[in-house]
Structure 1
Amino acid sequence: MKLKDILKVKGSKVWTVKTNQPVREALKILVDQKIGALLVLDEKERIVGIVSERDIVRGCHQNLKTLDAMPVSQLMTKEIVIGSPEDETSYIMGVITHKRVRHIPVVSEGRLQGIVSIGDVVKSVIEDSQYEIHYLKEYISGSGQSQ
Protein backbone atom coordinates (compact mmCIF):
# COMPACT_ATOMS: atom_id res chain seq x y z
CA MET A 1 0.00 0.00 0.00
CA LYS A 2 1.15 3.53 -0.73
CA LEU A 3 0.56 6.83 1.04
CA LYS A 4 -1.80 7.91 -1.73
CA ASP A 5 -4.01 4.91 -0.85
CA ILE A 6 -4.17 6.01 2.79
CA LEU A 7 -5.10 9.55 1.71
CA LYS A 8 -7.92 8.20 -0.51
CA VAL A 9 -9.53 6.74 2.61
CA LYS A 10 -8.50 9.38 5.12
CA GLY A 11 -8.97 12.42 2.93
CA SER A 12 -6.62 15.27 2.16
CA LYS A 13 -7.77 17.88 4.69
CA VAL A 14 -4.78 19.34 6.50
CA TRP A 15 -5.06 21.80 9.37
CA THR A 16 -2.43 24.52 9.39
CA VAL A 17 -1.29 27.58 11.33
CA LYS A 18 0.90 30.53 10.41
CA THR A 19 4.29 31.04 12.04
CA ASN A 20 3.12 34.13 13.92
CA GLN A 21 -0.12 32.65 15.31
CA PRO A 22 -0.19 32.33 19.09
CA VAL A 23 0.25 28.87 20.56
CA ARG A 24 -3.18 29.30 22.19
CA GLU A 25 -4.81 29.33 18.72
CA ALA A 26 -2.86 26.26 17.64
CA LEU A 27 -3.90 24.45 20.80
CA LYS A 28 -7.56 25.33 20.19
CA ILE A 29 -7.41 23.87 16.66
CA LEU A 30 -5.74 20.68 17.93
CA VAL A 31 -8.43 20.22 20.59
CA ASP A 32 -11.41 21.23 18.43
CA GLN A 33 -10.37 19.03 15.49
CA LYS A 34 -9.14 16.14 17.67
CA ILE A 35 -5.81 15.99 15.85
CA GLY A 36 -2.22 15.63 17.01
CA ALA A 37 -0.30 18.07 14.82
CA LEU A 38 -0.57 21.15 12.63
CA LEU A 39 1.62 22.08 9.71
CA VAL A 40 3.13 25.54 10.07
CA LEU A 41 3.10 27.75 6.97
CA ASP A 42 4.97 30.94 6.20
CA GLU A 43 3.46 34.02 4.56
CA LYS A 44 3.92 32.38 1.11
CA GLU A 45 1.99 29.25 2.21
CA ARG A 46 5.18 27.13 2.26
CA ILE A 47 5.58 24.41 4.90
CA VAL A 48 8.22 25.61 7.35
CA GLY A 49 7.50 23.40 10.33
CA ILE A 50 5.11 21.21 12.25
CA VAL A 51 3.77 21.79 15.75
CA SER A 52 2.46 18.82 17.70
CA GLU A 53 0.81 18.17 21.03
CA ARG A 54 4.21 17.08 22.31
CA ASP A 55 5.83 20.35 21.23
CA ILE A 56 3.20 22.27 23.18
CA VAL A 57 3.57 20.07 26.26
CA ARG A 58 7.34 20.66 26.17
CA GLY A 59 6.67 24.38 25.80
CA CYS A 60 4.34 24.30 28.81
CA HIS A 61 7.04 22.70 30.90
CA GLN A 62 9.65 25.25 29.87
CA ASN A 63 7.64 28.47 29.47
CA LEU A 64 4.25 28.13 31.13
CA LYS A 65 3.92 31.84 31.94
CA THR A 66 4.72 33.08 28.43
CA LEU A 67 3.22 30.25 26.39
CA ASP A 68 -0.13 31.97 25.93
CA ALA A 69 1.24 34.74 23.71
CA MET A 70 4.18 32.82 22.25
CA PRO A 71 4.12 32.45 18.44
CA VAL A 72 3.95 28.92 17.06
CA SER A 73 7.30 29.45 15.33
CA GLN A 74 9.07 29.25 18.71
CA LEU A 75 7.73 25.76 19.44
CA MET A 76 7.48 24.15 16.01
CA THR A 77 9.77 21.43 14.76
CA LYS A 78 11.62 22.87 11.77
CA GLU A 79 13.09 19.67 10.36
CA ILE A 80 10.09 18.13 8.64
CA VAL A 81 10.06 14.63 7.20
CA ILE A 82 8.11 14.72 3.93
CA GLY A 83 6.49 11.76 2.22
CA SER A 84 5.50 11.21 -1.40
CA PRO A 85 2.13 9.74 -2.48
CA GLU A 86 4.13 6.90 -4.09
CA ASP A 87 5.97 5.94 -0.88
CA GLU A 88 5.17 2.44 0.34
CA THR A 89 3.79 2.16 3.87
CA SER A 90 6.56 -0.28 4.79
CA TYR A 91 9.14 2.37 3.86
CA ILE A 92 7.26 5.07 5.79
CA MET A 93 7.10 2.82 8.87
CA GLY A 94 10.89 2.64 8.76
CA VAL A 95 11.18 6.41 8.35
CA ILE A 96 8.78 7.04 11.25
CA THR A 97 10.78 4.68 13.46
CA HIS A 98 14.22 5.93 12.43
CA LYS A 99 13.41 9.66 12.49
CA ARG A 100 11.12 9.35 15.55
CA VAL A 101 8.27 11.35 14.03
CA ARG A 102 4.54 10.80 14.31
CA HIS A 103 3.19 12.87 11.40
CA ILE A 104 4.34 13.04 7.79
CA PRO A 105 3.07 15.64 5.31
CA VAL A 106 2.53 14.11 1.87
CA VAL A 107 3.77 16.38 -0.94
CA SER A 108 3.72 15.89 -4.72
CA GLU A 109 5.29 18.34 -7.16
CA GLY A 110 5.58 20.92 -4.40
CA ARG A 111 1.89 20.72 -3.47
CA LEU A 112 0.57 19.45 -0.17
CA GLN A 113 -1.60 16.37 -0.72
CA GLY A 114 -2.41 15.53 2.89
CA ILE A 115 -0.83 14.33 6.11
CA VAL A 116 -0.53 10.84 7.57
CA SER A 117 0.09 9.88 11.17
CA ILE A 118 1.78 6.84 12.59
CA GLY A 119 -1.72 5.58 13.45
CA ASP A 120 -2.86 5.88 9.83
CA VAL A 121 0.15 3.89 8.63
CA VAL A 122 -0.22 1.16 11.27
CA LYS A 123 -3.95 0.87 10.54
CA SER A 124 -3.28 0.39 6.81
CA VAL A 125 -0.61 -2.24 7.47
CA ILE A 126 -2.97 -4.14 9.79
CA GLU A 127 -5.79 -3.99 7.23
CA ASP A 128 -3.47 -5.24 4.48
CA SER A 129 -2.29 -8.09 6.71
CA GLN A 130 -5.85 -9.11 7.60
CA TYR A 131 -6.82 -9.10 3.93
CA GLU A 132 -3.80 -11.21 3.02
CA ILE A 133 -4.42 -13.68 5.88
CA HIS A 134 -8.07 -14.07 4.86
CA TYR A 135 -7.21 -14.95 1.26
CA LEU A 136 -4.32 -17.21 2.22
CA LYS A 137 -6.67 -19.16 4.51
CA GLU A 138 -9.19 -19.48 1.68
CA TYR A 139 -6.48 -20.62 -0.68
CA ILE A 140 -5.12 -23.21 1.76
CA SER A 141 -8.57 -24.57 2.58
CA GLY A 142 -9.47 -24.76 -1.10
CA SER A 143 -12.54 -22.54 -0.78
CA GLY A 144 -10.88 -19.73 -2.74
CA GLN A 145 -10.07 -21.81 -5.83
CA SER A 146 -11.95 -21.31 -9.05
CA GLN A 147 -13.51 -24.39 -10.57
Structure 2
Amino acid sequence: MSELATKITTVLKRKKRGIWSVAPTTSVYHCMEMMAEKEIGALLVMQEDQLVGVISERDYARKVILQGRSSKDTEVSEIMAAPPLCVSPEHTIGDCMITMTRSRIRHLPVLENEKVVGIVSIGDLVNWIISEQEETIRHLEAYICGM
Protein backbone atom coordinates (compact mmCIF):
# COMPACT_ATOMS: atom_id res chain seq x y z
CA MET A 1 0.00 0.00 0.00
CA SER A 2 1.23 3.49 -0.84
CA GLU A 3 2.26 5.77 2.01
CA LEU A 4 -0.22 8.36 0.73
CA ALA A 5 -3.10 5.88 1.12
CA THR A 6 -2.36 5.36 4.83
CA LYS A 7 -5.22 6.53 7.03
CA ILE A 8 -4.59 9.36 9.49
CA THR A 9 -5.71 7.12 12.36
CA THR A 10 -2.51 5.10 11.78
CA VAL A 11 -0.36 8.23 11.97
CA LEU A 12 -2.08 9.33 15.19
CA LYS A 13 -1.38 5.98 16.84
CA ARG A 14 2.36 6.45 16.28
CA LYS A 15 2.38 10.08 17.45
CA LYS A 16 3.50 10.58 21.03
CA ARG A 17 2.46 14.18 21.58
CA GLY A 18 -0.74 15.13 23.33
CA ILE A 19 -3.51 17.42 22.20
CA TRP A 20 -2.91 20.95 23.45
CA SER A 21 -5.64 23.56 23.51
CA VAL A 22 -6.57 26.98 24.83
CA ALA A 23 -9.78 28.93 25.34
CA PRO A 24 -10.73 31.73 22.92
CA THR A 25 -10.16 34.33 25.67
CA THR A 26 -6.54 33.25 26.25
CA SER A 27 -3.93 35.90 25.48
CA VAL A 28 -1.85 35.36 22.38
CA TYR A 29 1.25 35.83 24.55
CA HIS A 30 0.25 32.85 26.73
CA CYS A 31 -0.30 30.78 23.57
CA MET A 32 3.17 31.61 22.28
CA GLU A 33 4.67 30.63 25.64
CA MET A 34 2.77 27.35 25.56
CA MET A 35 3.81 26.57 21.98
CA ALA A 36 7.45 27.24 22.85
CA GLU A 37 7.25 25.06 25.97
CA LYS A 38 5.57 22.17 24.12
CA GLU A 39 7.69 22.65 20.98
CA ILE A 40 4.64 22.82 18.73
CA GLY A 41 3.53 25.23 16.02
CA ALA A 42 -0.21 25.43 16.67
CA LEU A 43 -2.86 25.05 19.36
CA LEU A 44 -6.48 24.06 19.12
CA VAL A 45 -8.94 26.66 20.38
CA MET A 46 -11.71 25.01 22.38
CA GLN A 47 -14.93 26.47 23.78
CA GLU A 48 -15.79 23.86 26.40
CA ASP A 49 -15.64 20.60 24.40
CA GLN A 50 -16.20 22.25 21.02
CA LEU A 51 -13.38 23.03 18.57
CA VAL A 52 -13.83 26.64 17.45
CA GLY A 53 -10.48 27.46 15.86
CA VAL A 54 -6.75 26.94 15.50
CA ILE A 55 -4.02 29.42 16.38
CA SER A 56 -0.58 29.04 14.85
CA GLU A 57 2.77 30.78 14.94
CA ARG A 58 1.93 32.07 11.47
CA ASP A 59 -1.25 33.72 12.82
CA TYR A 60 0.87 35.43 15.48
CA ALA A 61 3.43 36.68 12.97
CA ARG A 62 0.91 37.99 10.49
CA LYS A 63 -1.94 39.19 12.70
CA VAL A 64 -0.09 40.49 15.76
CA ILE A 65 3.55 41.33 14.98
CA LEU A 66 3.01 42.76 11.49
CA GLN A 67 -0.03 44.74 12.62
CA GLY A 68 1.78 46.23 15.61
CA ARG A 69 -0.56 44.66 18.15
CA SER A 70 0.33 43.57 21.67
CA SER A 71 0.35 39.82 22.22
CA LYS A 72 -0.48 40.35 25.90
CA ASP A 73 -3.56 42.43 25.05
CA THR A 74 -4.81 40.36 22.11
CA GLU A 75 -7.11 37.39 22.67
CA VAL A 76 -6.83 34.23 20.62
CA SER A 77 -10.38 34.70 19.30
CA GLU A 78 -9.23 37.86 17.51
CA ILE A 79 -6.63 36.13 15.34
CA MET A 80 -7.43 32.39 15.23
CA ALA A 81 -8.34 30.59 12.03
CA ALA A 82 -12.07 29.91 12.30
CA PRO A 83 -13.87 27.81 11.47
CA PRO A 84 -11.00 25.36 11.34
CA LEU A 85 -10.52 22.92 8.48
CA CYS A 86 -10.71 19.40 9.91
CA VAL A 87 -10.35 15.80 8.78
CA SER A 88 -11.57 12.47 10.09
CA PRO A 89 -9.38 9.51 11.12
CA GLU A 90 -10.44 7.84 7.85
CA HIS A 91 -8.88 10.51 5.65
CA THR A 92 -5.60 9.48 4.08
CA ILE A 93 -2.20 11.14 4.24
CA GLY A 94 -2.70 12.10 0.60
CA ASP A 95 -6.07 13.72 1.38
CA CYS A 96 -4.50 15.73 4.20
CA MET A 97 -1.52 16.84 2.12
CA ILE A 98 -3.85 18.07 -0.62
CA THR A 99 -6.00 19.96 1.91
CA MET A 100 -2.96 21.53 3.56
CA THR A 101 -1.37 22.53 0.27
CA ARG A 102 -4.53 24.02 -1.24
CA SER A 103 -5.47 25.86 1.96
CA ARG A 104 -1.89 26.90 2.77
CA ILE A 105 -2.08 25.54 6.31
CA ARG A 106 0.30 23.37 8.29
CA HIS A 107 -1.97 21.82 10.94
CA LEU A 108 -5.19 19.82 10.69
CA PRO A 109 -7.37 18.84 13.63
CA VAL A 110 -8.72 15.29 13.43
CA LEU A 111 -12.35 14.90 14.53
CA GLU A 112 -14.38 11.77 15.08
CA ASN A 113 -18.09 12.22 15.85
CA GLU A 114 -17.39 15.96 16.37
CA LYS A 115 -14.82 15.15 19.08
CA VAL A 116 -11.14 16.07 18.70
CA VAL A 117 -9.01 12.91 18.59
CA GLY A 118 -5.77 14.50 17.43
CA ILE A 119 -3.98 17.01 15.27
CA VAL A 120 -1.55 16.36 12.43
CA SER A 121 1.05 18.71 11.03
CA ILE A 122 2.65 18.71 7.62
CA GLY A 123 5.82 17.62 9.43
CA ASP A 124 4.03 14.57 10.85
CA LEU A 125 2.95 13.56 7.36
CA VAL A 126 6.34 14.09 5.76
CA ASN A 127 8.06 12.16 8.58
CA TRP A 128 5.59 9.29 8.11
CA ILE A 129 6.28 9.11 4.38
CA ILE A 130 10.05 9.21 4.90
CA SER A 131 9.98 6.44 7.51
CA GLU A 132 7.74 4.25 5.34
CA GLN A 133 10.01 4.76 2.32
CA GLU A 134 13.09 3.91 4.40
CA GLU A 135 11.38 0.70 5.52
CA THR A 136 10.51 -0.21 1.93
CA ILE A 137 14.12 0.39 0.88
CA ARG A 138 15.37 -1.88 3.70
CA HIS A 139 12.98 -4.63 2.61
CA LEU A 140 14.04 -4.31 -1.02
CA GLU A 141 17.73 -4.37 -0.10
CA ALA A 142 17.18 -7.47 2.05
CA TYR A 143 15.30 -9.12 -0.82
CA ILE A 144 17.99 -8.28 -3.37
CA CYS A 145 20.86 -9.37 -1.09
CA GLY A 146 19.02 -12.59 -0.23
CA MET A 147 18.82 -13.71 -3.84
TM-score with structure 1 setting the length:
0.87
Query: Quick check: 2:7–2:91 contact (8 Å CA) kept in 1?
Result: yes
Query: Quick check: 1:12–1:115 contact (8 Å CA) kept in 2?
Result: no
Equivalent residue letter for 1:84: S
Matched, 1:28 2:41: no
Match for 2:66 among 56, 61, 70? 61
Q: Deviations over 1:28-72 (max 9, x none)?
A: 111111110001112x321111000111111111033x3321111
Distance 2:17 2:84 in 1: 18
Matched, 1:121 2:118: no
Equivalent residue letter for 1:19: P
SS in 2 for 1:107: strand
Shift of 1:142: 6.1
Match of 1:8 in 2: 13
Pair 1:14–1:118, CA change in 2 (3 A): same
Shift of 1:96: 1.3
Match for 1:107 among 99, 108, 111? 111
Match of 1:80 in 2: 84
Match of 1:135 in 2: 139
Query: Quick check: 1:40–1:51 contact (8 Å CA) kept in 2?
Result: yes
Identity of aligned residues (%): 33
Match of 2:51 in 1: 47
> Which structure 2 segments of 5+ residues have no match?
1-5
Aligned residues: 141
Greater C-alpha Rg: 1
Match of 1:37 in 2: 42
Equivalent residue letter for 1:17: V
Distance 1:2 1:28 in 2: 32
TM-score with structure 2 setting the length:
0.87
SS in 2 for 1:96: helix
Query: Quick check: 2:23–2:46 contact (8 Å CA) kept in 1?
Result: yes
Match for 2:97 among 93, 97, 106? 93
